[in-house]
Amino acid sequence: DGGITQSPKYLFRKEGQNVTLSCEQNLNHDAMYWYRQDPGQGLRLIYYSQIVNDFQKGDIAEGYSVSREKKESFPLTVTSAQKNPTAFYLCASSEGDPTGGKETQYFGPGTRLLVL
Amino acid sequence: EDQVTQSPEALRLQEGESSSLNCSYTVSGLRGLFWYRQDPGKGPEFLFTLYSAGEEKEKERLKATLTKKESFLHITAPKPEDSATYLCAVQAYSGGYQKVTFGIGTKLQVIP
């Protein structure tokens, strides 16, 4: 079964701590994305990667970092610089067609991050 | 700036009572419009992609349509299991990237 997995489902962060959220896909997609979802707001893009070893900042990248060392994996680190990290974090992937014909994004189940 | 507005914010229907959700958008160079279903505490589930005005797609009790300014998600004879938040998103080419902008969603409740 192809899909996107995220772990953990729930994550607790202490003040001053960095935490890493995992995202793995076996859809053979080139592009991967991280979004943040807060109540009453649309999904906001944190980072995206269109190809291995390359990634770009989205609209709200401050306080976050990513890596893309493998096609299947796109982990997100929430650093201590992110002062309001409590949110639902969603990872997505798409085929990455540069002509825009196959850019439907498919989402993982999400990770809820809470601050202790 | 690309904008997506969904209405209503919340909708309560009796089982079997058909209705429509609206997604109006402002974007330069639409490349695609997406509908997703999201259950509480879960990731969005893909429903439809529409690419051009006049296009329609159907899946079970759902039908999505697209015009140059808006999209509708029609729900025919809904059942309680259709209760969820429905998200609309638009894709446009911006700065070398197919940027996707999401609406806040319409929370649908179907009462037995």
The pLDDT of residue B40 is above 70: yes
In this complex, do B103 and A100 lie within 8 Å of one another by their Cβ atoms? no
In this complex, do B103 and A50 lie within 8 Å of one another by their Cβ atoms? no
In this complex, do A100 and B91 lie within 8 Å of one another by their Cβ atoms? yes
Report how many Cβ contacts below 8 Å link chain A to chain B: 53
Closest chain A residue to the Cα of B44, Cα to Cα: A107
Is A60 near chain B, with CB under 8 Å?
no
Give the pLDDT band (50/70/90) at residue A100.
Answer: low
How far B44 CA lies from chain A's nearest CA (Å)? 6
The pLDDT of residue B45 is above 60: yes
- The CA-based angle A65-A66-A69, given to 5 degrees, is 150
Characterise A28 by phi-psi region: left (phi > 0), alpha (psi -120 to 50), beta (else): left
Which residues from B are below 8 Å from A50, CB to CB? 97
Give the one of A42, A100, A108 whose C-beta lies nearest to B93's C-beta. A100
Q: Give B48-101 pLDDT, tens digit per residue.
A: 999 999 999 999 999 999 999 999 999 999 999 999 999 999 998 776 677 899
pLDDT value for A40: 86
pLDDT value for B92: 86
Is B57 near chain A, with CB under 8 Å?
no
Give the one of A41, A103, A110 whose C-beta lies nearest to B98's C-beta. A103
Among A15-19, A93-97, B21-25, the minimum mean pLDDT is found in A93-97
CB A34 within 8 A of CB A20: no
Core vs surface per residue A64-97: b (16+ CB within 10 A) or e: bbbebeebbebbbebeeebeebebbbbbbbbeee
Is B45 near chain A, with CB under 8 Å?
yes
The pLDDT of residue A63 is above 80: yes
Q: Give A27-60 pLDDT, tens digit per residue.
A: 999 999 999 999 988 999 999 998 999 999 999 9
Q: Using DSSP, how many helices (H) and how many strands (E) does chain B show?
A: 0, 11
Give the one of B32, B42, B93 whose C-beta lies nearest to A110's C-beta. B42
Share of chain A above pLDDT 70, in %: 94
Is B105 near chain A, with CB under 8 Å?
yes
